[in-house]
Chain A
Amino acid sequence: MAENHATATDKPVPYSTGDSKITDATIAEMRELMARYPQAQSALLPMLHLVQSVEGRVTPEGIEICADLLGLTGAEVSAVATFYTMYKRRPVGDYHVGVCTNTLCAVMGGDLIFDRLKQHLDVGNDETTEDGKITLEHLECNAACDYAPVMMVNWEFFDDMTPESATKLVDDLREGNEVKSPRGATICTWREAERVLAGFTDGRADEGPTGGKATLAGLRLARERNWTAPGGSSNADAQKED
């Protein structure tokens, strides 16, 4: 299945388009991030997330601004930006759609889901649909194996997927229908998600449940059978999430 992992590189994107969206307000926010740490360079990863939220990718302008602010060279910042897979050198669509194809998800159906989506969207791995809506990528383990096969949209969980539910999901995203993560919030754009990862809250933490069925599987069984840790539970008889 090595073909799953191939990335098309036959469509070059310009190094710089010359129309950077980074403003003084962005730079002020970068300084705010730097002030959160005992040493400013610790803010580099958050700053690069912020660059993506403004530019839709890591641009050379974004790299140079980070370098200037931190007293680094552009090469030093590039070295960091190219190390981490969440930083993209090509423009990402409104929705980053990931399919876990690490072993467990792959055998549970992830490989077939990924194949179906490549076909359905007519893109390869790490490519964006022509309408600029969806960037498809295969993912490594996303720490939700008890919900396999797992997909992520802008880094929100979509659990227990099938080829059918996966194609419906991407169709809804492309048509602009409201989509909610079963264990998260209403899906925002990839750029908005990157802003939260940079460290700027969006007020959506209270959306969604405490966890899904698998998260609560052991606890529900313990409640049913009156099993507790020694000394009992202070929660066993309290109000429950539905």
Chain B
Amino acid sequence: MADTLTPVLSDNWDQIKSWQLASYQRSGGYDALRTAFTMQPADVVATVKDSGLRGRGGAGFPTGMKWSFIPQDNPKPKYLVVNADESEPGTCKDIPLMMASPHTLVEGVVIASYAIRASVAFIYVRGEVLHVVRRLQQAVQEAKDAGFIGQNILGTGYDLDVVVHAGAGAYICGEETALLDSLEGRRGQPRLRPPFPAVAGLYGCPTVINNVESIASVPAIVKNGADWFGSMGTEKSKGMTLYSLSGHVTRPGQYEAPMGITLRELIDLAGGVRAGHTLKFWTPGGSSTPLLTAEHLDVPLDYEGVGSVGSMLGTKALQIFDDSVCVVRSVLRWTEFYKHESCGKCTPCREGTWWLVQILERLEHGNGTEEDLVTLLDLCENITGRSFCALADGATAPIASSIQHFKDEYLAHFENGGCPFDPMASTVFATAGASA
């Protein structure tokens, strides 16, 4: 039985200048790369497959299996693309990881590239995080200077270039095929699949796209073995992972634990829900995952556990909202976000999110009717599953789940002729007596 918290990815974050190569190497950094180079690429793929590592970007697809889909008999160049476009509302794990220890990611990039025999790897980081971009740029340069990236790496004959690429502010680029279009210098719009990126990805070449945390987990797996990784977590959701607690808890932040910990345990570690209040609703993995409530506190936070109560583990972005928060206001704001971020390619998403906002605005301002709720749910049903990507599906998740759990609160809005909540009460400065 593993300890309650198991820092692996975060284990060096309290070291002096942990973002520098020298500090990272003092913590054993790049030892795993040397180990990987003693193995055949296919054996590295097998190790990651055996570990049970599943994609940490939300979908939970087995990472090693994704790598094994790269057709090695295809004569085209192969590419690794790291999805560092962390933008899902509530999600805040990859940015602190890259800020504190960019070399963990860079080492994972070199190992993963070697495993799939990529010649160039790209780290596509969102543009709105200047200091993270700086630290990534420096880490890649340090790794080049130390001979971990470049020609004939560590005398193995393996060549790899790594490019840090800053995006320009588009949530949709976190969707892997939109990210590829964006990286090719186009508008970030999702592609129809098949073909899947493993066959025809960047520039039409075989491409693996992985989340930051997935790739950053690779060095530890190679170093300690698949069994070590599997000794943490649950049967089908193995390993440790970063759970991000935000909102109305006493000590929000990053908590690295074995897969399957519960929100009750995490909130306890974080010092409880804000004093004087109770938990009202929460997201298990960002705003695109259906809302859960206090009745779900003991659900194991792994792919199967959260799935079994009708939601998704997603990015493990646990946004905690207490009883001071209006659920209609919250859902309206998320919906406005999806409307703004819809790339416009597919009609159900482009038009649908627009209509969702119209109705939710009416409801929040007390001008709605019970019939609007029926229309909303009908719209959600018509939008879901009808676009190239999952953005619109995500947009409907908080709406449908909030009506399911909090229908009375929607009704109260038009019965009272407006929002019954005081927006000051939910703020962090509510108790300080400050006001806007």
A binding-site residues for B, Cβ under 8 Å: 1-2, 5, 36-39, 41-46, 48-49, 70, 79-80, 83-87, 98, 101-104, 106-109, 111-113, 115-116, 139-149, 152, 154-157, 160, 162-164, 181, 183-185, 193, 196-199, 201-202, 204-208, 210-211, 213-223, 225, 227-231, 233-235, 238-241
Q: A86-B127, A142-B128, A142-B129 known; 14 other A-B pairs, CB under 8 Å?
A: A5-B336, A42-B165, A98-B128, A102-B337, A103-B337, A111-B423, A163-B429, A163-B435, A164-B434, A193-B130, A196-B130, A217-B253, A218-B269, A235-B27
Interfacial chain B residues near A223, Cβ < 8 Å: 14
The residue that B255 contacts in the complex, of A115, A217, A240, with Cβ under 8 A, is A217
Q: A107-B329, A239-B16 are in contact. Are A227 and B6 (CB under 8 A)?
A: yes
- Complex CA–CA separation, A80 to B333 (angstroms): 26
Stretch from B83-91, B305-313, B372-380, B410-418 contacting the other chain: B83-91
Instruction: Say yes or no: is B171 at the interface (Cβ < 8 Å to chain A).
Output: yes
19 pairs of residues in contact across A and B, judged by CB atoms under 8 Å? A46-B165, A49-B166, A85-B169, A104-B319, A107-B247, A107-B427, A108-B426, A143-B94, A145-B246, A199-B164, A201-B137, A205-B138, A210-B19, A213-B253, A217-B255, A219-B13, A221-B269, A222-B5, A229-B232
Contacts of A241 in B (CB 8 A): 14-18
**B245 in the interface, Cβ–Cβ < 8 Å?**
yes
With a CB–CB cut-off of 8 A, which chain B residues contact A221? 5, 255, 269
Are the C-beta atoms of A238 and B26 separated by less than 8 Å? yes
Partner of A103 from the list B130, B287, B423, B424 (CB cut-off 8 Å) is B287
Q: Give the chain A neighbours of B341 by CB distance below 8 A.
A: 140
Instruction: Determine the residue in chain A with the shortest Cβ distance to B227.
Output: A230
Q: Which residue of chain A has its CB nearest to the CB of B432?
A: A162
Find chain B residues with CB under 8 A from A163 CB. 429, 434-436
> Bound state CA distance, A84 and B127, in angstroms?
10
Question: A146 with B244: in contact, given A103-B287, A183-B99, A235-B12 (CB under 8 Å)?
Answer: yes
* Chain B contacts with A in 161-219, Cβ cutoff 8 A: 163-171, 182-188, 203
Do A140 and B131 have beta carbons less than 8 Å apart?
Answer: no
A117 (CB) vs chain B CBs: closest residue? B436
Cα distance A98–B424 in the bound complex, in angstroms: 21
Chain B residues whose CB sits within 8 angstroms of the CB of A36 once the complex forms: 163
Q: Which of B186, B321, B331 has the most CB of A within 10 A?
A: B186
A220: B residues at CB distance < 8 A: 14
Point out the residues of chain B lying under 8 angstroms from A183, CB to CB: 99, 131
Q: Measured between alpha carbons, how far is A181 from B135 in the docked complex, in Å?
A: 15
Measured CB to CB, the nearest residue on chain A to B332 is: A1
Q: In the docked arrangement, what's the CA distance between A181 and B99, Å?
A: 13
- B61 at interface, CB cutoff 8 A: no
Partner of B10, one of A139, A146, A198, A218: A218
Give the shortest distance, in Å, between B414 (CB) and chain A (any CB): 18
Contact residues, B58-108 vs A (CB, 8 A): 77, 86-92, 94-96, 99-101
Is B385 interfacial (CB-CB < 8 Å)? no
What are the 10 tightest A-B residue pairs by CB atom distance, in nearest-first order? A217-B253, A44-B185, A214-B253, A218-B255, A112-B436, A84-B168, A145-B246, A86-B169, A41-B185, A184-B131
